[in-house]
Amino acid sequence: QVTLRESGPALVKPTQTLTLTCTFSGFSLSTSGMCVSWIRQPPGKALEWLALIDWDDDKYYSTSLKTRLTISKDTSKNQVVLTMTNMDPVDTATYYCARVQTGGHAFDYWGQGTLVTVSS
Amino acid sequence: QSVLTQPPSVSAAPGQKVTISCSGSSSNIGNNYVSWYQQLPGTAPKLLIYENNKRPSGIPDRFSGSKSGTSATLGITGLQTGDEADYYCGTWDSSLRGVFGGGTKLTVL
């Protein structure tokens, strides 16, 4: 059974760095073809893809946010971490992590999401 | 503004059929698989369709997907009130970055 769960602060101040952790089970990120991605959704708005890390430690970032994002993995802990620097109120959103298999080319399992509010 | 274009809303009566379009370009839909997601109110998105027209286990055959050129379509037949949700299309660009549509709100009248 595949599960993912996001964790991190619910509230951050402007200019601070956000660190989110995705803890997953039911698959291994050392298995060929496995990837984990981060997606966010501001309240009442559409999904926005942020970043992806694959089994080979290749990393891909949103063009508009790449200077602020870092994605990393700890295979032994079944965790993927996303950091976003210089947070702003417009970054207020629910942040999701999701599994991607290169075979299916889709986000097949999602975490429940974690709401992050940026406010002083 | 989302990379892929979807209609903001669609509606139909229970039992009827509805289609949701998703328009992109040669750098995304034109050269990559399309997937579709259903997001019920207050919940995380759920995969409905992958690789343009395949359904994951447990997704009823009332849901279908197709792709032609730089556009894709989600079809839902036998509409039920429980289908009321936001629907998103997604794919990848030529640099392996994910892209989504702006979402379509389905109302079952």
Read off the pLDDT of residues A94-108 as tens digits, 9 standing for 90 and up.
999 999 988 768 999
pLDDT at B1: 83
Cross-chain Cβ contact A62/B102 below 8 Å = no
In B, residues 68-107, which contact A (CB 8 Å cutoff)?
A: 88, 90, 92, 95-103
A89 SS3 class = helix
In this prediction, residues B98-107 reach a mean pLDDT of: 97
pLDDT digits (tens, 9 = 90+) for B45-86: 999 999 999 999 999 999 999 999 999 999 999 999 999 999
Q: Contact at 8 Å (CB) between B81 and B100?
A: no
Whether the pLDDT of residue B4 is over 80: the answer is yes
- Residue A49 has its nearest CB partner, among B44, B56, B98, at B98
The answer to whether residues A43 and A92 touch, using CB atoms and an 8 Å cutoff, is yes
In degrees, rounded to 5, the angle at the alpha carbon of residue B5 between the alpha carbons of residues B3 and B7 is 150
